[in-house]
Homo-oligomer: A and B are copies of this chain.
Amino acid sequence: MAQSTKERLLETGMALLLERGYHDLGIQALLEETGTPRGSFYHHFRSKEDFALEVIDRYMAEVHEGLDACLGDTAAPPTVRVRRFFELSGEKYRREGYLGCLLGGLGQELSGVNEVFRERIETCLSEIAGRIADCLEEARAQGEIPADSSPTEMANVLLNCWEGAALRSRLWRSPKPLTQVLDFYFGSVTAEGRVS
């Protein structure tokens, strides 16, 4: 079935926002790249801001699918499932040419000037951290990580470290920072587990 105009705009817009950021994305360029008349864009979206927010929704739907697939695989130990989610994200970054994370990019660019984006992106990161925290809570209950650890704090630290590694990966156009941060984080968590 042919992709709808709206779908095509969102998909192309996601790639352009990841590469160029928000302010450098021209609606005209998006229309040309997708062969869409201007009126059609404004039929589907009230404004550029509305469009970018819908791109973020679409991005998050994919993130939740990845979380479902990785964290839901209860055959694997919880910390392995969490690592797999980040490895899956790293695979996505590879396919895109290591441009990092859309949430990190838009969060950096817009959170100083736009409260709507600041709140939306924080909500997204907070949702991801929450799902990882649930899995780390399983890890805690199963003794994979120390009994006195805080799954919520550990999930936020991991997600934040990953976002920094994603930025460096964007600068290097390389997976190395991503692998290094996962090795360090899970190595530390395991080491702490051994110590306790």
Residue of A111, A172, A195 with highest tally of chain B CB at under 10 A:
A111
A27 CB–B CB distance under 8 Å: no
Interfacial chain B residues near A157, Cβ < 8 Å: 165, 177, 180-181, 184
> Contact mask A84-122 → B, CB, 8 Å, 1/0?
000000000000000110001101111111000010011
Q: Say yes or no for A30: interface residue by CB 8 A criterion.
A: no
Per assembly, the copies of the chain total 2
Contact of A194 with B195 at beta-carbon distance under 8 Å, contacts A108-B108, A160-B161 already known: yes
A188 touches B181 (CB 8 A): no
**Total count of chain A residues near the partner, CB < 8 A:** 48
Contacts of A54 in B (CB 8 A): none
**Across-interface contacts of A181 in B (CB, < 8 A):** 157, 160-161
Min C-beta distance of A150 to chain B, whole Å: 10
**How distant is A121 from chain B, measured CB to nearest CB, in Å?**
6
B99→A112 contact, CB < 8 A: yes
Q: Is A20 at the interface (CB under 8 A from chain B)?
A: yes
Interchain CB contact under 8 A, A168 and B188: no
The docked-state distance in angstroms from the alpha carbon of A172 to that of B166 is: 19
Name A170's contact: one of B107, B154, B156 (CB within 8 Å).
B107
